[in-house]
Structure 1
């Protein structure tokens, strides 16, 4: 039972009894015990159902590797912007959606391989004896468990429980969803290992791994998950810089399957190395593509001019024809080659200018070396532009900040502006060189016109052939240079410690945290309810509540009646409950003496409402007076709702009402009881006008007649909070006892009592606290009296101490 006194910390006291408060809180130990048992049971069940969480990591370094075959002539250089920029870029790439899409797609981590554990499904990737080779271009059953049972080593059985008429399919090649109709039954069918399955909802080949072990009769589960959802989970990879060096990165992940973590960490680094190396080879790759397309055209022209030269030499003395024009031909070839070089540079600049003005993706620009351009400003700016364009395209999948993109765009615009100025300056110089070459070539052509006609024709054909052959040879040389550079490029990313399962790595679940949480909740939840009850409970709980609300003295405290009999004093005269009523008797005698009441004494017992123990107290107070050899009578004056007859096993046929209406005499309405010296007068039949009868002169005559016959007259009256009968009877009483019941009487009723006393409606009023229980403070069943010091004096039934008995048994063993 809640005792508001337990929360005395909230009251305004001059001193605080912490020990008392602690003992009072401990009185509700059953609440806390039950709460703690429930909380720890839940924590235990949660802990045993949680899968173990492991942490794996890999260590990589970033070191800018220079190409040992790079020379100033190749001009095939690619720079990511230094180590610092590479670290930031790598961190972004590793957590980007596009990068993780590539890794997840390569490893097919959207497929779950599961086994049934004791409490739930367990991710058994790397432990199952098989894998499924799916057809990505066709739909697979999405987000549904597919049970696989191996009937034999080469035959397996598929179980799919369909619950509706349609199922969702996922197409991994297009990353799209669709639906297909099925029958709402369990699909069961057998297939051979390696057999192609082509169903509307499933398309795969199941293959057995190397060294699968024993798997006949075992059951496994396969599930196809959402591709984007799977990628989102793996984007949570943690990338941290090592304190010892800014160019060293630690990649770590946590999960329930170590094999998955190890393979993913190593694969994501390998994918990063490939991406970085491809970007580093971008110049070489673009150059090779450009040269390959040019060589195709040049090869056709070279073949055509070769055929012309062959046709011309047929049936002619070629040595006589060549003899006179060899010097002129060599001179013209030199001028043609020089002119081709200048023209090629101008053409490259024109194409580059048009590309810069009309495109926004500069990652496919060919190297300037394909046109023989070695201007360091142009080479460096093109390299920087390609690097910025590549970085921007990579960050587009991971970064959503417009400011970062604007910064990249501003940098590329600045580089592009400088590059356009470089192009304009270089072109003006080349146009001047071209005019000089054309002048020299014109002089050589004039000299050639003086030669014989056949020599001129041969010179013309050979000149074209030699030029094409020279250009073809030059492009082949440039292509070889690009291939060498591409083959010899090294990635800037290197493994220091690849991820590896060497045992351990367990990081969770943290079961101790759950048990600590259970401890806190197990204590706080009942405490919260106790506080809640305190704030919403408006009933009297202890003597402090009464003394704070009223100046009326408390004459006694009655404990809880656990015997089940209302004649508690008579049935258990040595009980603590009996002693409580004897204490009230002593206090009443003091009050009578103080008021100088002699002869017969009257006592009116009332309360606020019905159910507060008014009749119970009347009977037992009367009993203690009777047992002290005083002639005592209880008068049942609750004419509206009489209960006194039931307590003495009497019939309420005649009583006070019969006397007041002059129907019976006092002797006729008086009933003797089994308690010596105690008589009882019942209320009698319920009258239509109880208030009028109480106000009649017959009531005074009844009291006067009782005073002549009895030492103590106990008036059991109706509650004053409901009717006014008790107020009318107050004039006949020497002392009034107002019964207040713990955890039942409302505090507002005490305020009403104060008003009654202040108006003089109740005489010599005192309060009795009934049904009081405070186990924490006193250690007894109702807590007002002697506690453990009552042994041998109070006749209380001792309850066996189960804990003590258990300890005794252990000692005996």
Structure 2
């Protein structure tokens, strides 16, 4: 069983191969078209190359290592950097925008080469960088037309022709990089002098001839003034940044472009801008810290001078040099409490200052940690670090995400909640400072009550001394912190480092590989016709051959009738060595062999619908039986659409209908054909009700009489798909030939005859395929080699 299935599968593959081979011209046409399209693509595609650079990300520390170990200003957990955040910053629109502002890519130069494809359209276009025969100097203080091709044609007398044509063209302001207006349509042609400024409402520039120009013949030159947004979008789309491996802090920057010099310059500038931006941000944080300390020192400087002056004046006026030991102890405690109160007050002022800046929307919350000023609160520091981390993540997502992006909205919610937590912590610290102030004040009041017994002058002296000491200590503390901050700022360095500058990865373009493209085009050129053939074969529901019949019906197969000329109706008689004659000869022999053990004389020939060659088969089969020496009579039982007149020189004045309806003698309805041993009974006059006539007992009598005088009675019946006469006649048939036409008969038309055969209501029925072209089928393709035996 397995062997049979394998064999059928092999035959099916060969059948498909035969179908493909018979449609070889489709493969040739599509292959040529695909290869031609590949050639046009290869010639017209701009060569894109790949460029690469590497960048090292350091840790989170700023300043020199020695300064960090000495100062240790930030006593918070070092969470390190996140590579994903840094990638987001590098590829962000703002970072690429800063890099592009350092580059002069405002004008791009192009040429349409002198290639035969450009006679059809501008298909082969190349960008020129520092090789164009002219240079455009823009007046960036004036508006310019951007992102539209401007054709340049050099003329004699040191002039050139400028041709501009475009729709929805923007007028652009290069000073603030904004679009002034969008013009629905722009089209003009001007002749301008070379080397002289030109200015109108659309543009302002000067064209200079280039020294080292490309003198290769070209079809035309044109240039495009690029807006900053288009430059950023182009570079951002071609930029890809990723770590060289997982958990690595070395980033690989990959860019794609057609001009090596431009892409290498862009990558190097982008890395320089990124490193410079990182250092600027760190310096800005240090400067903000110094500004805060300087502001506090300025306030304390006047207070310190006033307090020292007051102490000196009081000593001189009251001639006081020493204070008693007991008073010193009390005043020392009081001084300590005043220092503590001052520290608390300073912390409170600092907390209020930060709270005010956050509530006013100042960006200090993202850049300055409160520990720099000497106030250390771990919770507050962690919240500031968390807020900074969230802002970095937001910057990374904003590269490609919109404001409606769900992840971006979640980040914004976290940022807002962190800010609220910072505000809440600051308020709690302020309330805590108020409570501490009250407690210190209570203890100071207690000590002051103890000092009430001290002489007024000594007590007042101690007050002045204590105030001066407190201000002096606070001033010294801030001076120390300022020196530390200044050292940190002076030794500040970036932790980002360029490892490898940009370079071309390979000299071969990454988008145009001729061998691969031609191979792919050839495969497509072969796949399309193969797919069309498979599709047409699956869509075609007509009978294609014996295998189709075997798949849809269990009725035995008798044979095939070869394809021939439509004008040769009696092919068996007129050309006995033709393929059609040989087909009917094979059918006759097969029929006689299959029914050799049974007595059969009445042969019915029917089909599904008109046009399948039922009458042609019945006439030629009858002729073949007659030529073999058998006496045959052919009855035309299709009294609705008589067709015997196309085959024989006969008349319908009398026939089957005359015998059944008028009772004419059988001798009067039988007509000779001129073919030896073959007579016919035409349908006769067309009756009003053919079915009722065929149901008459006289039909049985006619057939019984004919069987007495003839060896075979062949009945050409109407098609069963249109009328029901066959179901009346089939009870008289000894055998039935069911005719289907190659690539004409629909498979669904065999449903009715299949039901009759399955119900065993019809016996000795055989299938015949008519009009089969041997050269157009795999199953009988071998027969086309037998043309030598046919005439």
Tell me whether the two structures share a fold, i.e. TM-score over 0.5. yes
SS in 2 for 1:615: helix
Contact 2:656–2:681, Cα closer than 8 Å, also in 1? no
- Residue 479 of structure 2 corresponds to residue 508 of structure 1: no
- Residue 503 of structure 2 corresponds to residue 496 of structure 1: no
**TM superposition shift of 1:257:** 3.4
Inter-partner Cα distance in structure 2 for 1:146 and 1:481: 59
Inter-partner Cα distance in structure 2 for 1:645 and 1:728: 24
The TM-score normalised by the length of structure 2 is: 0.71
Most deviating of 721-730 and 615-624: 721-730
Contact 1:40–1:519, Cα closer than 8 Å, also in 2? yes
Distance 1:628 1:95, change over 3 A: same
Inter-partner Cα distance in structure 1 for 2:410 and 2:204: 45
CA RMSD of aligned residues (A): 6.0
Q: Identify which of 581, 584, 590 aligns with 2:584.
A: 581
1:26 alignment partner in structure 2: 17
1:491-640 alignment runs, 5 A limit: 491-501=494-504, 504=507, 506-509=509-512, 539-543=542-546, 546=549, 552-561=555-564, 565-590=568-593, 593-596=596-599, 601-640=601-640
Q: Identify which of 354, 358, 362 aligns with 1:356.
A: 354
- Residue 145 of structure 2 corresponds to residue 145 of structure 1: no
1:332 alignment partner in structure 2: none
Inter-partner Cα distance in structure 1 for 2:67 and 2:761: 119
2:720 alignment partner in structure 1: 720
The TM-score normalised by the length of structure 1 is: 0.69
1:91-149 alpha-carbon deviations (Å, 9 max, x no partner): 23102232122223443657544333552544445544555555566543354322233
Distance 1:569 1:209, change over 3 A: same
SS in 2 for 1:506: coil
**TM superposition shift of 1:254:** 2.3
Distance 1:532 1:280, change over 3 A: same
1:60 alignment partner in structure 2: 55
1:116 alignment partner in structure 2: 112
Most deviating of 637-646 and 655-664: 655-664
Contact 2:108–2:225, Cα closer than 8 Å, also in 1? yes
**TM superposition shift of 1:273:** 1.4
2:87 alignment partner in structure 1: 91
Distance 1:209 1:478, change over 3 A: farther
**TM superposition shift of 1:356:** 0.7
Contact 2:58–2:496, Cα closer than 8 Å, also in 1? yes
Inter-partner Cα distance in structure 2 for 1:44 and 1:739: 52
Inter-partner Cα distance in structure 1 for 2:217 and 2:553: 85
- Residue 271 of structure 2 corresponds to residue 269 of structure 1: yes
Inter-partner Cα distance in structure 1 for 2:571 and 2:158: 86
Inter-partner Cα distance in structure 2 for 1:211 and 1:294: 63
Distance 1:343 1:169, change over 3 A: farther
Q: Identify which of 96, 103, 117 aligns with 2:99.
A: 103
1:698-723 alpha-carbon deviations (Å, 9 max, x no partner): 76776577567654443323223333
Distance 1:551 1:499, change over 3 A: closer
1:188-337 alignment runs, 5 A limit: 188-192=189-193, 195-206=196-207, 211-212=212-213, 214=215, 219-224=221-226, 227=229, 230-231=232-233, 234=236, 237-243=239-245, 246-286=248-288
SS in 2 for 1:557: strand
Contact 2:63–2:489, Cα closer than 8 Å, also in 1? no
Contact 1:132–1:204, Cα closer than 8 Å, also in 2? yes
Inter-partner Cα distance in structure 1 for 2:267 and 2:76: 23
1:645 alignment partner in structure 2: 645
**TM superposition shift of 1:507:** 2.3
Inter-partner Cα distance in structure 1 for 2:767 and 2:565: 22
Inter-partner Cα distance in structure 1 for 2:560 and 2:589: 13
**TM superposition shift of 1:358:** 1.0
- Residue 401 of structure 2 corresponds to residue 397 of structure 1: no
Contact 1:592–1:734, Cα closer than 8 Å, also in 2? no
Q: Identify which of 45, 48, 54 aligns with 1:50.
A: 45
Inter-partner Cα distance in structure 1 for 2:89 and 2:770: 78
Distance 1:181 1:85, change over 3 A: closer
**TM superposition shift of 1:18:** 2.9
Contact 2:357–2:364, Cα closer than 8 Å, also in 1? no
Distance 1:778 1:344, change over 3 A: same
2:735 alignment partner in structure 1: 735
- Residue 752 of structure 2 corresponds to residue 752 of structure 1: yes
Distance 1:481 1:221, change over 3 A: same
Inter-partner Cα distance in structure 2 for 1:741 and 1:13: 28
**TM superposition shift of 1:172:** 5.1
Gaps of 5+ in 1: 1-7, 302-324, 329-340, 448-466, 797-813
Inter-partner Cα distance in structure 1 for 2:488 and 2:212: 42
1:61-91 alpha-carbon deviations (Å, 9 max, x no partner): 2446875698699979899996941755432
1:77-88 alignment runs, 5 A limit: 84-85=80-81, 87-88=83-84
Distance 1:586 1:186, change over 3 A: same
Contact 2:366–2:387, Cα closer than 8 Å, also in 1? no
1:465-510 alpha-carbon deviations (Å, 9 max, x no partner): xx9xxx9xx99x9999988876764332222221134861632245
Inter-partner Cα distance in structure 1 for 2:210 and 2:77: 45
**TM superposition shift of 1:357:** 1.1
**TM superposition shift of 1:655:** 4.8
SS in 2 for 1:561: coil
- State how many pairs are aligned: 722
Contact 1:25–1:776, Cα closer than 8 Å, also in 2? no
Inter-partner Cα distance in structure 2 for 1:256 and 1:441: 86
1:321 alignment partner in structure 2: none
**TM superposition shift of 1:573:** 2.5
Gaps of 5+ in 2: 303-315, 320-338, 398-406, 449-456, 466-470
Distance 1:623 1:177, change over 3 A: same
Inter-partner Cα distance in structure 1 for 2:146 and 2:47: 26
Contact 1:739–1:768, Cα closer than 8 Å, also in 2? yes
Inter-partner Cα distance in structure 1 for 2:217 and 2:599: 104
Inter-partner Cα distance in structure 2 for 1:743 and 1:366: 82
1:157-176 alignment runs, 5 A limit: 157-162=161-166, 167-171=169-173, 173-174=175-176, 176=178
**TM superposition shift of 1:265:** 0.9
Most deviating of 685-694 and 617-626: 685-694
Distance 1:16 1:424, change over 3 A: farther
Distance 1:430 1:207, change over 3 A: farther
**TM superposition shift of 1:605:** 1.9
Inter-partner Cα distance in structure 1 for 2:459 and 2:415: 47
SS in 1 for 2:510: strand
Inter-partner Cα distance in structure 1 for 2:732 and 2:233: 92
**TM superposition shift of 1:41:** 5.2
Distance 1:250 1:554, change over 3 A: closer
Inter-partner Cα distance in structure 2 for 1:210 and 1:430: 83
Inter-partner Cα distance in structure 1 for 2:106 and 2:518: 35
Distance 1:415 1:639, change over 3 A: closer
**TM superposition shift of 1:234:** 0.6
